[in-house]
Amino acid sequence: MMVMKSQIIETTLLALVAIATCAPSSNKPPFLNLITKQNDKLYFGTATNNVQLNDTAYAAILDDSRMFGQITAANSMKWFDTEPERGHFTFQDGDVIRDLAKRNGQLLRGHNCVWHNQLPDWVANGSFTKPDLLDVVKTHCGTLVGHYRDSWDIVNEVLNDDGTFREDIFFNTTGSEYIPTAFHAARAADPHAKLYANDFNIEGINAKSEAYRNLIPQLRKQGVPIDGIGIQSHLIVGQLPTDMKENMEAFTAIGLEVAITELDIRMTLPETEELLEQQKKDYATVIEACNAVKGCVGITVWDFSDKYSWVPGSFAGQGAACPWDENMKEKPAFFGIVEGFLG
């Protein structure tokens, strides 16, 4: 009975949105990017990986710019893949994603210039003087942003949850100086690219999001070109922060553009109807929050199908985090996104 009721609601929703998006009202889904743009946002996007592009059912959804208006490479623009040896840049994998987005008329988000993870050995285990490592960062970010334009996650996950700087090869060698160096190099390479700091656990008002609200204005005062904050949003079903909207407003109040850059909402498996319904509500809540904040410019899911989600590989016993299931069928979460825009 519950299933039937939810099916009726979804069918009605489909019909309403089909009218709103001028989409054929047959059995076509609503188109997330069209709906997002109708709400004065720039895009609804997804991350993707090179290895899955031959999956035709997957690619048919990925390539539809009515569904996704923006693409992020989940792995292939990272340091290990783009500069495996010092000064030797390899753009083959990243170019595949860039060309796909271009072909489909989709925006591209560069991910990422500087991150403590997925580094080649020569960086992760290198022994550098401070000027040497700053030079390495400058060359890496300048070359990447010069090659791929549009938006970029220039620094990724530079703070700990308590708001202190993460201790990694970059911080331990240069202090926090690598951050201005990365942003300046990016701006010099492309004066028009939108340059972001990107992190997780900054979805609500907490020590980490407050630390970014202190750090970024300080850096900007010193002339560091930071345009936006990427709120990753790897969330857990039933455990969303209650102040996501206020948190985004606090970022836009200091002049930052906000983007939800890596949205997924995981659950402890097995999935149940209750969990899927809660997940639907949770997706709607995130979308409503972004939609209510003018400076929240777009939303990107961290891949759209459970078949290719990073979650089960990183959290044993958890998964089903995406809006489409493993068979490329829209889940209740998909309709939660639509409902979030309808308000």
**117 touches ligand G3I by CB under 6 A:** yes
Question: Under rule CB under 6 A, which residues in 146-175 are in contact with ligand G3I?
Answer: 156
Short-list 139, 103, 142, CA closest to 122: 139
**31 touches ligand G3I by CB under 6 A:** no
Rule CB under 6 A: choose which of 33, 65, 75, 279 binds ligand G3I.
Answer: 75
User: SS3 for 107?
Assistant: strand
**141 touches ligand G3I by CB under 6 A:** no
**310 touches ligand G3I by CB under 6 A:** yes
Which residues are catalytically annotated? 157, 262
Question: Under rule CB under 6 A, which residues in 170-229 are in contact with ligand G3I?
Answer: none
CB of 156 to ligand G3I, least distance (A): 6
CB of 119 to ligand G3I, least distance (A): 11
Size of the site for ligand G3I (CB under 6 A): 10
Q: By C-beta, is 156 or 291 nearer to ligand G3I?
A: 156
CB of 197 to ligand G3I, least distance (A): 12
DSSP H or E stretch at residue 209: helix 207-221
**72 touches ligand G3I by CB under 6 A:** no
Residue written as tokens 């990016």? 186
Tell me the β-bridge partners of 228.
196, 257
Q: Is the dihedral of CA 329, 331, 334, 339 positive or negative?
A: positive
Short-list 196, 248, 253, CA closest to 226: 196
**74 touches ligand G3I by CB under 6 A:** yes
Question: Under rule CB under 6 A, which residues in 314-333 are in contact with ligand G3I?
Answer: 314
**118 touches ligand G3I by CB under 6 A:** yes
CB of 122 to ligand G3I, least distance (A): 18
Rule CB under 6 A: choose which of 262, 288, 330, 339 binds ligand G3I.
Answer: 262
CA dihedral 161, 167, 168, 173 (to 10 degrees): 150
- Beta-strand ranges (E) seen in the chain are 43-48, 70-73, 107-114, 151-156, 194-199, 228-231, 234-236, 257-268, 296-301, 318-319
**7 touches ligand G3I by CB under 6 A:** no
Q: By C-beta, is 95 or 277 nearer to ligand G3I?
A: 95
Residue written as tokens 């899955």? 52
Nearest residue to ligand G3I, scored by beta-carbon proximity: 310
* Alpha-carbon 99 to chain mean position: 19
Please report, as a single letter, which amino acid is at residue 140.
H
- Cβ atoms of residues 295 and 247 within 8 Å: no
- Cβ atoms of residues 284 and 340 within 8 Å: yes
**By the criterion CB under 6 A, which residues form the site for ligand G3I?**
49, 74-75, 117-118, 156, 232, 262, 310, 314
